[in-house]
Amino acid sequence: MKAEPVKAEYVMVGGFLGAGKTTALLRVAEHLTAQGKRVGLITNDQSSGLVDTTLVDAHGYPVEEITGGCFCCRFNSLTAAAERLTEAARPDVFLAEPVGSCTDLRATVQYPLRRLYGDNYRIAPLSVLVDPLRALRVLGAEPGRPFSSKVLYVYRTQLEEADLIVINKADLLEPSRLARLEQALHAEYPDGEVLTVSARTGAGLDRWFARIAAADMDARPAPAVDYDTYAEGEALLGWCNATFHLAGAPFDGNALVIALARALRTALAADRIEIAHCKMTLAPDEDGNDLAAINVVGSDREPELSHRLLDDLAAGELIVNLRGEGDPAALGRAVAGALAAATAAHGVRADTIHLEHFRPARPEPTHRMATMEV
């Protein structure tokens, strides 16, 4: 009897900008590696110069990035990236992070992979992560509407298509608020199983890992998606990706990125731009292992250093990935202005290597298959 070919697993973790996808995928990678499995990560963005790729690389995992459009619109790039990873590292498990403003992944990625490449991959349930503070507001369980209604359409469609709705950052909330969020998600999205985890502390992760490993994705039809509203919602988000080279007398890079994040938040507040996610890394030219990473996941949230440089540096590369609801040109101006202020305060010179700002183009998926079987 012919042996069944060994299938690699394809695990996709979606969710809105800043929900904690990269952090959580690094935990999944750590968990699988400890079990002796080989992993390969696939990052994705509308543009190049990605903080996420820098972070995954800093943790030593093989990574391929797909730039210039989301997985659904670059489906062939996704399978090509998986093939390159296979040649380089033969992963048992592919861990894929789609763009946080992207939805309809069930119909445009999961089902096409299953139908066209089902011999190669086992498709794990689709996890959609949420930041609980943002989700409480989006669901109306707490006051404060973070984004306009078309952006919220994208957010809600992500939840609607999830097999697993994973409330992340449980460490940020007291149990009563978490319970309120769990109930609201259960009530509004009954097709998804709600799990609660903290990628930071590790709480609840084992249960989530078990759910990803145990079963294939659910076969229910993908929800109908209004592509006009989706495209308009996604295009309300401005994008700014920039890379700079910083140099000066040895300076405190942690203090510099904190000052930069604060100045940026102030500048965006003055322009009434709600931050979806601002993430930055600063990597010294000399020490390949040292890294600062800072994130701001909302206009009223504090900047947070998730990776801290161990030493002062004389020169390094700063990558800025900023997404917010507003005029992309204003995002670009805010980045330039905040960087000028923060570098001047630290006596550092900044040279621009790459700076672009834009609105994501209308999503035009390569495939759309609303059901798992033909």
* Shortest reach from residue 115's CB to Mg ion, in Å: 27
User: Residue 21, interface with ligand GTP (CB under 6 A)?
Assistant: yes
Write the Ramachandran bin of 141: left for phi over 0, alpha for psi from -120 to 50, otherwise beta: alpha
Tokens (6 digits) for 117: 């490449």
Alpha-carbon gap, residue 106 to 115, rounded angstroms: 12
Q: How many DSSP H helices and E strands does the chain contain?
A: 12, 14
User: Residue 67, interface with ligand GTP (CB under 6 A)?
Assistant: no
* Shortest reach from residue 201's CB to ligand GTP, in Å: 7
Tokens (6 digits) for 314: 């004389």
User: Residue 17, interface with ligand GTP (CB under 6 A)?
Assistant: yes
Interacting residues with Mg ion between 24 and 63 (CB under 5 A): 52
Question: Which amino acid does the sequence have at 349?
Answer: R
Residue among 19 and 350 whose Cβ is closer to ligand GTP: 19
**Burial (Cβ within 10 Å: 0-12, 13-18, ≥19) of residue 250:** exposed
User: Residue 100, interface with ligand GTP (CB under 6 A)?
Assistant: yes
Residue span binding ligand GTP (CB under 6 A) among the ranges 108-116, 156-164, 196-204, 238-246: 196-204
Residue among 115 and 307 whose Cβ is closer to Mg ion: 307
* Shortest reach from residue 371's CB to ligand GTP, in Å: 28
Question: Buried b / exposed e across 187-212, counting CB within 10 Å, b at 16+?
Answer: eebeebbbbbbbbbeeebbeebbebb
* Shortest reach from residue 16's CB to ligand GTP, in Å: 7
Residue spans of alpha helices (H) in the chain: 21-34, 51-58, 75-89, 105, 111-117, 132-138, 149-160, 175-188, 205-214, 227-235, 253-270, 328-345
Assess contact for 328 and 360: CB atoms under 8 A: no
Report DSSP state, residue 226.
-
| Site track for ligand GTP across 160-179, x = CB under 6 A | --------xx-xx-------
Look at residues 197, 276, 198, 195 and name the one whose alpha carbon lies nearest to residue 233. Answer: 276
| Site track for Mg ion across 148-177, x = CB under 5 A | ------------------------------
Contact partner at residue 314 from Mg ion, ligand GTP, none, CB < 5 to 8 Å by partner kind: none
User: Residue 65, interface with Mg ion (CB under 5 A)?
Assistant: no
Contact partner at residue 20 from Mg ion, ligand GTP, none, CB < 5 to 8 Å by partner kind: ligand GTP
* Shortest reach from residue 277's CB to ligand GTP, in Å: 4
Contact partner at residue 13 from ligand GTP, Mg ion, none, CB < 5 to 8 Å by partner kind: none
Span between the terminal Cα atoms of the chain, in Å: 28
Alpha-carbon gap, residue 354 to 53, rounded angstroms: 16
Residue among 162 and 372 whose Cβ is closer to ligand GTP: 162
* Footprint of ligand GTP (CB under 6 A): 15, 17-23, 52, 100, 168-169, 171-172, 198-200, 277, 279, 295, 297, 304, 306
* Footprint of Mg ion (CB under 5 A): 21-22, 52
